[in-house]
């Protein structure tokens, strides 16, 4: 067994680390407007990311991307996770957000939606969550009922990121509510300017994001806009959410590393009662706990990514990664804030941003309780007799 990253990944990692240290960290505190990159900074960073070979690393080569393996992408996400200069969710400097469900579109629909999105001419949002269905999307109330050549959709979607700027949404709707997530949810592509689609308002959040509420009132979607099979939407979604969980885990590695760097540096400098904080055992131990967790988490993330690249099933690994790494990074952010005292609460340092952002990742894309719920079934089956 070789636990080291392959040579080319280590080169990638070094390049990214220099980019983050030299060009992104100096922008912290002034690159974002809420959670969006300021336009002039975004265009500069996009150009730099292209130069560094980071553009469209997620997208398969057949669609014009680089089709990097998950291990290489995990290295990138981990390094970028060290900085608060970028938005905490979608990182636009790597290219437009293209959800893998789009690869299941027909050729004609790819021409209309996928390729223009790759070229940056059209934008999408993903609409699954509802006021009464977040962690449990199988209970969603938005229905899509077949009527001739169309589906008629009624319902409300909540917390939809980027709905105000999107040209179309990837919509999850129930085609058979009695089946829920076991064959009752379908995925559609829906233009935002379709009659009956209305943005009803947005929520301000502690991270500076403002996800939208969308009302769907007797919206007619042509049946040709169904992606994959009727009832197959949930299964399609799970395919890419698995990758998303590894991404979350990799990002959390970077957050934890940065929190360790900030906390260890401050602890060595800050003197209280005549001694540096770094000499106090109560300060040392949480630092050590973060370090030990990071060492373990790195192996977990990289092993999962490698298994995925080898075509193996990583469903449970991806849940384990999301659970372990996001909780680890949250504890590290909490430790980092505590070590810094009052200055950590100010916006002069990136500490409070790391803390706020990481807290939000314990709720979105699958809360720890949901990861534990799913893994409990796996553990009971695997270890119970
Ligand atoms: C900034 C932001 C951006 C978002 N962007 C999008 C987007 O673009 N598209 C989209 O579709 N959604 C989006 N969401 C929605 C997000 O995915 C949901 O908020 C998330 O899935 C949790 O759902 P919920 O808020 O309804 O919480 P609920 O499902 O109501 O859960 C509430 C609490 O109960 C816990 N819980 C739930 N079930 C169980 C259980 N079985 N056992 C124990 N505990 C449980 C959860 O951990 C949670 O803390 C976004 C949310 C935010 C805040």
Mean pLDDT of 331-351: 98
Q: Does residue 50 sit in the same domain as residue 133?
A: no
Single residue among 231, 264, 298 that ends a domain in this structure: 231
- Res. 354: pLDDT tops 90: yes
Q: Is the CB of 166 under 6 A from ligand 1?
A: no
Mean pLDDT of 256-268: 98
CA 220 to CA 222: how far, in whole Å? 7
Give the pTM: 0.96
Looking at the DSSP bridge assignments, the partners of residue 150 are 147, 222
How far apart are the CA of 364 and the centre of ligand 1, in A?
5
Give me the DSSP letters along 171-204.
EEEES-TTTTTTT-EEEEEEETTSTTEEEEEE--
- Res. 123: pLDDT tops 80: yes
Which residues are catalytically annotated? 365
Give 3-state DSSP helix, strand, coil % of the chain, rounded to 5: 50, 15, 30
How do residues 49-107 score in pLDDT, each as one tens digit?
999 999 999 999 999 999 999 999 999 999 999 999 999 988 899 999 899 999 999 99
How far apart are the CA of 135 and the centre of ligand 1, in A?
5
Per the CB < 8 A criterion, the answer to whether 262 and 224 are in contact is no
Between the alpha carbon of residue 237 and those of residues 99, 195, 207, the distances in Å are 9, 26, 25
Q: What is the pLDDT, as a whole number, of residue 43?
A: 96
Q: What is the pLDDT, as a whole number, of residue 97?
A: 87
**Closest CA relative to residue 137, chosen from 126, 153, 150:** 126
Q: Is the CB of 129 under 6 A from ligand 1?
A: yes
At 120 the three-state DSSP class reads coil
Residue 118 lies in a domain: no
Q: Does residue 197 sit in the same domain as residue 305?
A: no
Q: What is the pLDDT, as a whole number, of residue 2?
A: 83
Q: Which are the contacts of 38, defined by CB distance < 8 A and separation ≥ 6?
A: 31, 32
Residue 245 is encoded by which pair of tokens?
Answer: 């969980």
Q: What CATH number did the domain enclosing 223 receive? A: 2.40.110.10
CA 60 to CA 21: how far, in whole Å? 29
What range does the domain containing 36 cover? 7-97
Q: What is the pLDDT, as a whole number, of residue 157?
A: 98
Mean pLDDT of 293-309: 97
How far apart are the CA of 68 and the centre of ligand 1, in A?
30
How do residues 126-182 score in pLDDT, each as one tens digit?
999 999 999 999 999 999 999 999 999 999 999 999 999 999 999 999 999 999 999
Counting the structural domains of the chain, the total is: 3
Give me the DSSP letters along 89-108.
S--GGG-----GGGGGS-HH
CA 85 to CA 36: how far, in whole Å? 10
Q: What CATH number did the domain enclosing 252 receive? A: 1.20.140.10
Percentage of the chain beyond pLDDT 90 is 93
Question: Radius of gyration (Cα) for the chain, nearest Å?
Answer: 22
Single residue among 164, 198, 231 that ends a domain in this structure: 231
CA 127 to CA 172: how far, in whole Å? 6
How do residues 2-21 score in pLDDT, each as one tens digit?
888 999 999 999 999 999 99
Q: Is the CB of 376 under 6 A from ligand 1?
A: no
CA 380 to CA 377: how far, in whole Å? 5
Q: Which residue has the tokens 């060009």?
A: 23
Average pLDDT, the chain: 96
At 275 the three-state DSSP class reads strand
Q: What is the pLDDT, as a whole number, of residue 3?
A: 87
At 124 the three-state DSSP class reads strand
Question: β-pairing, 143-147 with 185-191?
Answer: unpaired
User: Lowest mean pLDDT: which of 36-50, 107-121, 237-251?
Assistant: 237-251
Q: Does residue 130 sit in the same domain as residue 53?
A: no
Q: Is the CB of 352 under 6 A from ligand 1?
A: no
Q: What is the pLDDT, as a whole number, of residue 241?
A: 79
- Res. 240: pLDDT tops 80: no
Percentage of the chain beyond pLDDT 70 is 100
């Amino acid at each position: 067994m070789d636990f080291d990253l392959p040579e080319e990944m280590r080169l990638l990692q070094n390049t990214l680390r220099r980019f983050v240290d030299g060009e992104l960290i100096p922008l912290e505190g002034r690159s974002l407007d809420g959670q969006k990159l300021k336009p002039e900074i975004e265009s500069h960073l996009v150009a730099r990311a292209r130069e560094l070979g980071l553009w469209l690393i997620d997208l398969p080569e057949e669609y014009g991307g680089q089709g990097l393996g998950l291990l290489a992408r995990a290295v990138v996400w981990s390094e970028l996770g060290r900085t608060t200069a970028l938005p905490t969710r979608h990182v636009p400097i790597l290219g437009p957000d293209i959800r893998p469900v789009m690869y299941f579109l027909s050729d004609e629909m790819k021409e209309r939606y996928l390729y223009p999105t790759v070229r940056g001419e059209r934008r999408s949002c993903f609409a699954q969550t509802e006021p009464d269905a977040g962690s449990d999307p199988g209970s969603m109330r938005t229905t899509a009922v077949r009527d001739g050549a169309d589906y008629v959709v009624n319902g409300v979607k909540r917390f939809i990121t980027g709905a105000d700027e999107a040209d179309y949404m990837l919509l999850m709707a129930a085609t058979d509510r009695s089946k829920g997530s076991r064959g009752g949810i379908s995925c559609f592509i829906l233009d935002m300017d379709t009659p009956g689609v209305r943005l009803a308002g947005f929520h301000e959040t502690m991270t500076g994001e403002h996800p939208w509420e969308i009302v769907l009132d007797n919206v007619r979607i042509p049946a040709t806009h169904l992606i994959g099979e009727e009832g197959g939407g949930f299964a399609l979604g799970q395919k890419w959410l698995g990758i998303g969980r590894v991404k979350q885990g990799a990002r959390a590695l970077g957050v934890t590393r940065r929190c360790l760097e900030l906390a260890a540096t401050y602890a060595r400098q800050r003197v209280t009662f005549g001694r540096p904080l770094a000499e106090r055992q109560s300060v040392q131990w949480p630092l050590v706990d973060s370090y030990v967790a990071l060492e373990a988490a790195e192996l977990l993330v990289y092993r999962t990514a490698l298994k995925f690249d080898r075509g193996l099933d990583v469903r449970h690994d991806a849940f384990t990664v999301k659970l372990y790494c996001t909780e680890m990074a949250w504890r590290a952010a909490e430790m980092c804030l505590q070590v810094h005292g009052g200055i950590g609460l100010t916006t002069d340092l990136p500490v409070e941003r790391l803390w706020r952002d990481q807290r939000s990742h314990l709720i979105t894309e699958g809360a720890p309780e949901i990861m534990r719920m799913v893994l409990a079934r796996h553990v009971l089956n695997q270890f119970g007799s």
